[in-house]
Amino acid sequence: MQGSPIRIGTRGSPLALAQAHEVRARLMAAHGGTDDDYPIIVIKTTGDLILDRPLAEVGGKGLFTKEIEEALISRAIDLAVHSMKDMQTALPPGLSIGAVLEREDVRDAFISLKHASLQALPHGATVGTSSLRREAQVRRARPDLKVVGFRGNVQTRLRKLEEGVADATFLACAGLNRLGMSAHITAPIATDTMLPAVAQGAVAIEIREDDDATRALIAPLNHERTALCVTAERAFLTKLEGSCRTPIAGLAELGDGGLTFRGMLLTPDGKDCREVAGSGGYGDAYQIGDDAGAKLLANAGPHFLAPHT
């Protein structure tokens, strides 16, 4: 390792730090050097400061990336590590995604101290979530359940379960696995029951578009199969111009024959759901997602993407 230190920007949450440390470890494995060559810079974001209400009420996507991207633009850091599902589809001018790590488990995790699965919850049970996507899909699968707002890290949510605020909650399997907390997963939820958020389980490394040196440095960390899948999923989301106010789900998967994609758009109450599927060659990832979004828009009508109260 030679030259100036490569400063890694990240949020300060346990998961964000775990992801930043993973990026640093991979850079050291690829290029050598010590921790001092890859300092981790913690940046507090708007999303970290708002703890008393759902994020959808205060702007949705970008709340966990804005300040980090500003630091990247101002050259206070050299690269940024994000949970890719938190990223806006349109990045600020001058920034780009330089690499995507290999994806973790894409599924949502059902977490309960008393019940074995979503299906096993008793009639009228209470589930906690701050995700409109999860709420809509829960209401679709189990309209008898009561849904309450639920934010916080893993420990906070477990404490709320112990206090009886809710009978169950949901988190991404990927985050729990990366934190070494997979033992808290009561049951993974099949994607046929709860389709994940776009890019769930993927970690993105964002850089300045003109920074060829950093782009070359992180190139060995890019996982091409994951990159193809999230390209299709983000193209789908871009077409829908979705935000945290619209329940949208999408998942691309690679097989021997190419790439397959499933997408879903729901009303917040889960009563109306439109689905789409597409497939094609590996090189058509963006087009597959874009086409799926166009089909869904044509099928759904404007009320799906209208503001909901």
User: 256-308, pLDDT tens digit by residue?
Assistant: 889 999 999 999 999 999 999 999 999 999 999 999 999 998 988 766 666 55
Q: Which of 212, 204, 263 is nearest to 233 (CA)?
A: 263
Domain boundaries, the chain: 1-101+202-222, 108-189, 223-301
Query: Per-residue pLDDT averaged across 202-217, rounded?
Result: 97
Tell me which of 35, 48, 52, 86 is the catalytic residue. Answer: 86
Is 159 a residue whose pLDDT tops 70?
A: yes
Residues 231 and 112 sit within 8 Å (Cβ to Cβ): no
**Band (156; pLDDT cuts 50, 70, 90):** confident
Query: Is residue 9 scored above 80 in pLDDT?
Result: yes
Distant-in-sequence, close-in-space partners of 238: CB < 8 Å, separation ≥ 6:
89, 90, 289, 290, 293
Q: What tokens were used for 226?
A: 């994951």
Q: Report how far apart, in Å, the C-alpha atoms of 235 and of each of 217, 241, 288 are.
A: 26, 10, 8
Residue-level pLDDT at 54: 53
Span 13-70, pLDDT tens digits: 899 999 999 999 999 999 999 999 999 999 987 765 555 555 555 555 667 788 999 9
What is the share, in percent, of the chain residues with pLDDT greater than 90?
78
Q: State pTM to two decimals.
A: 0.91
Identical fold between 1-101+202-222 and 108-189: yes
CATH topology of domain 1-101+202-222: D-Maltodextrin-Binding Protein; domain 2 (3.40.190)
Q: Give the helix/strand (H/E) hosting 155.
A: helix 154-162
| pLDDT at position 231 over 80 | yes
Residues 223-301: name the CATH superfamily.
Porphobilinogen deaminase, C-terminal domain (3.30.160.40)
- CATH number for the domain running over 108-189: 3.40.190.10
User: Active-site residue 86, yes or no?
Assistant: yes
CB burial of residue 164 (10 Å; 0-12, 13-18, 19+): exposed
